[in-house]
């Protein structure tokens, strides 16, 4: 009910995700992306069919849209406005990507938001808003810095390992 397309589908790419079993391929969801987006959107519409929700396909589709952004060398963002579920899903995805990236860093490296954006395919505005929501942006020596608390990071990563089991 947030976005409706009444006219042309030609300006979009459609990516269909399937699950394959002994009976063949079954559509589990899809996403669309504008072929040319002045706003640098990497996803216009996303759908996971109800019987396949809560199976990780939504996160997979979001991840796929960012992998395409990285291949294009252009960080992207989902088309706005996001639905309530979209906000929750994207914030969760961005948090996971950023905290995983920080966990892989040695800690003595000076990494800038624009570098994180290029590494992840996530637009700088989405990175900054996610870091703000995690209370990880501080003002230090006259500039804004990302403040990563190692105990918070270790706790998050151990929770992720438990979820995978």
Provide φ and ψ at 122, rounded to 5°. Answer: -90, 135
Candidates 39, 79, 109, 159; catalytic one: 79
Burial of 126 (0-12, 13-18, 19+ CB in 10 A): buried
Under a CB-based contact definition with an 8 Å cutoff, are residues 148 and 136 in contact?
yes
Beta strands in the chain (DSSP E): 12-21, 24-34, 41-43, 45-48, 77-78, 137-140, 143-146
Confirm whether 79 is a catalytic residue: yes
Distance CA 159, CA 5 (A): 40
Distance CA 40, CA 92 (A): 21
**Residues known to be catalytic:** 79
């Amino acid at each position: 009910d947030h976005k409706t397309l009444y006219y042309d589908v030609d300006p979009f790419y459609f990516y269909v995700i399937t699950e394959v079993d002994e009976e063949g391929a079954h559509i589990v969801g899809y996403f669309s992306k504008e072929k040319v987006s002045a706003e640098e959107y990497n996803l216009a519409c996303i759908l996971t069919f109800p019987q396949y929700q809560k199976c990780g396909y939504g996160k997979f589709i979001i991840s796929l849209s960012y992998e395409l952004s990285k291949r294009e060398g252009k960080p992207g963002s989902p088309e706005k406005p996001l639905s309530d579920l979209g906000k929750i899903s994207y914030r969760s995805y961005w948090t996971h990507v950023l905290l995983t990236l920080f966990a892989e860093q040695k800690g003595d490296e000076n990494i800038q938001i624009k570098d994180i954006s290029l590494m992840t395919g996530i637009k700088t505005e989405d990175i900054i808003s996610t870091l703000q929501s995690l209370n990880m942006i501080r003002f230090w020596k006259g500039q804004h810095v990302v403040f990563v608390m190692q105990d918070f990071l270790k706790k998050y990563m151990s929770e992720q390992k438990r979820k995978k089991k």
